[in-house]
Structure 1
Amino acid sequence: MERFLTPEEVADALAGFHQVFAPDHQGFVQGRTPDRTQQVFPWDHSGLNRAAVHPELVAAAERIIGTRDIRLADSDINVRYAGEQLGDGFHVDVGNNTLGPIIPEDHSNITIALVLTDVQPGMSPTRMVPWGRPDSEAEPMTVPAGSLCIYSTFSTRHSATTFSAPTGYRATMWTIWCRADRPWEGRSFTYKGCGWQKEAALKRYVTEATPRQLEMIGFPPPGHPLWTRAYIDGMAQRYPGFETAPYVEALSFADGSAQIREHAESAMSGV
């Protein structure tokens, strides 16, 4: 899908890409290198985080996977530069994304590749092999910035290509989505293993995320028994700026409903 992100969203995400992770081609030539400690989600930049859990991406993942109960299994950003000598080769991202069997018709684990820069021929476009076709019929992802490709994590063969253009770079964000009830799928990922380098990024994400976006990293929705007053207050204390209102409102609604039931049951018992 071309130009999924608006120009403003692309500019915002790319600014974050450069700020927290990697330089443009000119910076690379001058000797700057990517900060690999900041390669994985979340990031201490709102534009990058918003792109990773864009509401329309979440909605697309729901429709394809077939349930609302999904989670973000992994997300990272990467870059390729003119002049780099990097390997390529067709592969399927299965070995590091599931412990279960591979069932090609099961689309419960999908990957979304979102490019943040224009990708022209020679700029290391990712090649995708349509299902059931030979590698020789792979199609290059030569698209404008803000475009995306959705594919099956388990069955879509793909490969990077040589960066043959004399200048430029390719900036890409990858997100992987799976069912929430399959903990053996996805990488046991990002914030759980990245240590202190992600402390500020985690605080930013938790305080800025909607309840639905918090569900993508494992939190239950408002109204779930987890969200007691003590738990809500604890989140606000740990993450100053955390939006408590949706959880307090759901808790108040649940308390009110319980009181109504109690009154009704009491009235019925007196009949």
Structure 2
Amino acid sequence: MRIPDKNLAEVFDRGFTVVEGFLDKTTLSDAQDALWEIYPRPEAYFADPEAHPKFAKSQFAGLRFFPYPSWALNKVTVYPDLIDAAERFLRTTEIDCYKIELWAKYAGAIDYDQHHHRDYENHTIVVPRADQLMPQMTCFILLSDVTELDGPTKAVPLEKTRQVPIGVTQTEMGDFFEDEVSVTGPAGTILIYKTDVFHRGSNFKAPGRSRFVMPIDFKPRGWRWQGKLAWPDRTLNPGWKEAMVNMTPRQRDLFGWPPAGDPYWNAQTLSDVALRYPGIDLSPYGGQVRATAGLNPA
């Protein structure tokens, strides 16, 4: 669904917003099915937690970075209504998708409780502006139902923390717990928040529970002091080529793909990019046929 303007305004006023029903049912269902190519199903995990010891190594052991083996997951990262929300929030169409993760948590694997913190510390090498210019848009898409029992993210409204200098990135355990709001909702819900908002992970409150979310972040293009992942470093991972082939030119642009009309494109690059990405439609960039044209350069 298209994020209402009032919710994007709430991100600036309150620091975060929660919108249920963001993903359509088919996209959500396909993405949920694809999770089990990466993670153990909850029933399998809880049948024998000791068979999956890696989830007990740290709170972040369940993180997996883009790309993913299945297009069903990769397409969530370039969901048209997500791009639309990022363009409106950042007030420009010149935007980069600078971080994509999947995050799985299983009750009892480890203590997931955290103190409140601000995310900007590993999203920028400086600090966010207090006047809210030059923001970054960070979000969590819930791929499973999240209730109070499921270790929800806890966020603190900006009005409760305005006295804390932005240069302070962490609080003491327990600070602002009385002011925090639980981010709960059915699968398909989206949380959008700013990197200067205090928030934290919380622990599960019942056994046999699990939580699966997809964090995705955007920034205006050209602000080199912001970012997190370098996409060229991910191109050898399973799923990257399929993702690029299946994306539209607008979606590829989010990852820094050279746009149509860029001086990068000539006969040689069109031919060789076609070799690297079999099946890709390069006609928007000046190619006359689909990607297999480059298979016989002679």
Task: Say whether the fold is shared (TM-score over 0.5).
Answer: yes
Mapped contact 2:145–2:186 kept (Cα < 8 A): yes
CA spacing shift, 1:97–1:38, aligned 2, 3 Å: closer
The match for 1:143 among 181, 185, 195 is 185
| Superposed counterparts of 1:33-182, under 5 Å | 39-86=64-111, 87-104=113-130, 105-106=132-133, 108-133=135-160, 135=176, 136-153=178-195, 155-182=196-223
- Which stretches in structure 2 are left out of the alignment for 5+ residues? 1-18, 56-60, 162-175, 289-298
Distance in 2 of aligned mates of 1:23 and 1:32: 8
Which of the pair has more CA radius of gyration?
Answer: 1
Matched residue, 1:215: 253
- TM-score, L = length of structure 2: 0.76
Change (3 A) 1:192 1:248: closer
Matched to 2:28, the amino acid is V
Residues 23 and 34 in structure 1, CA contact (< 8 A), matched pair in contact too: no
State the alpha-carbon separation in 2 of the partners of residues 234 and 93 from structure 1. 39
C-alpha separation between the residues in 1 aligned to 2:271 and 2:89? Answer: 36
How far apart, CA to CA, are the structure 1 residues paired with 2:32 and 2:261? 36
Deviations 1:1-39 (A, max 9, x none): 0010112111111122221x2122212123246796981
Q: Distance in 1 between matches of 2:62 and 2:209?
A: 23
Partner deviation per Cα, 1:33-52 (whole Å, 9 max, x = no partner): 67969810111211111111
Alignment partners' CA distance in 2, 1:240 and 1:33: 38
Cα distance change, pair 217–77 in 1 and its aligned pair in 2 (3 A): same
AA matched with 2:218: W
Which AA in structure 2 matches 1:24? R
For residues 63-105 of structure 1, the C-alpha deviation after alignment (integer angstroms, 9 at most, x for no partner) is 1111111001101010111222224121111111101232131
Q: What residue number does 1:23 align with?
A: 40
2:32 is aligned with 1:14:
yes
Q: Matched residues in 1 for 2:147 and 2:63: separation?
A: 26
For these two proteins, the number of residue pairs brought into alignment is 245
Q: Find the counterpart in structure 1 of residue 169 from structure 2.
A: none
Structure 1, residues 178-224: CA drift from partner, whole Å, max 9, x if none?
111012211133x444575x1x3211111111111111110132222
1:108, distance to aligned residue in structure 2 (A): 2.4
Indicate the SS of the match to 1:39. strand
Aligned match for 2:227, one of 186, 196, 203:
186
1:101, 1:139 → 2: CA distance? Answer: 24
Query: Cα RMSD between the aligned structures?
Result: 2.1
Q: In 2, are the aligned partners of 1:84 and 1:163 still within 8 Å (CA)?
A: no
Cα separation, partners in 2 of 1:206 and 1:38, compared to 1, 3 Å: farther
Percent of pairs identical after alignment? Answer: 27
The secondary structure found in structure 2 opposite 1:95 is helix
Q: 3-state SS of the aligned residue for 2:22? A: coil
Structure 2: how far apart are the matches of 1:193 and 1:37? 20
Distance 1:12 1:107, change over 3 A: farther
